Amino acid sequence: MASEEQCSVPLRWRSISLTHIEFPAGDLTGQMLAYTSLLPIAILVGFVTLIVFKRELHTVSNVTQILAPYGVTQLPAGSLNEDRTPHTTLTTEYGMPSSHSQFIWFFVVYFFLFLYLRMHQTNNARCVELLWRHILSITLLGVALSVSYSRVYLLYHTWSQVFYGGVAGSTIGVVWFFFTQEVLTPLFPKIAAWPISEFFLVRDTSLIPNILWFEYTVTRSEARNRQRKLGTKLQ
Share of the chain above pLDDT 70, in %: 74
108 burial via Cβ count (<10 Å: 0-12, 13-18, 19+)? buried
pLDDT confidence of residue 123: 46
pLDDT confidence of residue 234: 58
Q: Is the pLDDT of residue 71 over 80?
A: no
CB 9 within 8 A of CB 34: no
pLDDT confidence of residue 8: 54
Nearest to 198 by CA among 207, 189, 206: 189
* Bridge partners, 24 (sequence order): 13
pLDDT confidence of residue 68: 57
Average of per-residue pLDDT across 16-30? 72
CB 57 within 8 A of CB 211: no
51 burial via Cβ count (<10 Å: 0-12, 13-18, 19+)? middle
**Distance from C-alpha of 2 to C-alpha of 26, rounded to nearest angstrom:** 11
Q: Is the pLDDT of residue 30 over 50?
A: yes
Q: DSSP label at 162?
A: H
Residue 225: what residue type? Answer: N
For every residue of 47-104, which 3-state class applies, written as one string? HHHHHHHHCEHHHHHHHHHHHCCCCCCCCCCCCCCCECCCCCCCCCCECCCCHHHHHH
Average pLDDT, the chain: 78
pLDDT in tens, 122-158: 445 577 777 888 898 999 999 999 999 998 888 888 8
Higher pLDDT, 18 or 197: 197
**Distance from C-alpha of 25 to C-alpha of 9, rounded to nearest angstrom:** 13
What spatial distance separates the first Cα and last Cα of the chain, rounded to whole Å?
73
CB 73 within 8 A of CB 172: yes
